[in-house]
Amino acid sequence: MTNERHIATPTRTKELLQKYNFSFKKSLGQNFLIDTNILRNIIHHAGVTKESGAIEIGPGMGALTEQLAIAANKVLAFEIDQRLLPILEDTLSPYDNVQVRNEDILKADVQKELQQYFGDQEVKIVANLPYYITTPILMNLLTRELPISSITVMIQKEVANRMAASPNSKSYGSLSLAVQYYTEAAVVMTVPKTAFMPQPNVDSAVLHLELRKEAPVAVEDEKFFFELIQASFAQRRKTLRNNLNRHFSAKFSKEQLEDIMNEAGIDGTRRGESLAMDEFAALANTFTARS
* Distance between CA atoms of residues 154 and 278, nearest Å: 29
Residue 128 annotated as binding site: yes
Whole-angstrom distance, CA of residue 152 vs CA of residue 233: 27
Helix (H, G, I), strand (E, B) or coil at 291: coil
Would you tell me the crossing angle of helices 277-290 and 222-232 to the nearest 10 degrees?
Answer: 110
Closest CA to 139 of 99, 182, 96: 182
Counted residue by residue, the chain has a size of: 291
Eight-class DSSP state of 265? T
Measured distance CA(261)–CA(204) in Å, rounded: 39
129 annotated as a binding-site residue: no
Residues 6+ apart with CB under 8 A from 17: none
What is the C-alpha separation between 201 and 193, in angstroms, rounded? 7
> According to the annotation, is 104 in a ligand binding site?
yes
Identify the helix (H) or strand (E) that includes residue 100: strand 98-101
Closest CA to 164 of 138, 198, 136: 138
Decide: 225 and 219 in contact? Cβ < 8 Å: yes
DSSP 11-53: HHHHHHHHHTT----GGGT--EE--HHHHHHHHHHHT--TTEE
Asked if residues 8 and 39 have their Cβ atoms less than 8 Å apart, the reply is: yes
Confirm or deny that 56 is annotated as ligand binding.
no
Tell me if residue 237 falls in helix, strand or coil.
coil
Residue 31 annotated in ligand binding: yes
Residue 184 phi, psi dihedral angles, 5° rounding:
-100, 120
Task: Provide the annotated binding site for S-adenosyl-L-methionine.
Answer: 31, 33, 58, 79, 104, 128
Residue set of the binding site: 31, 33, 58, 79, 104, 128
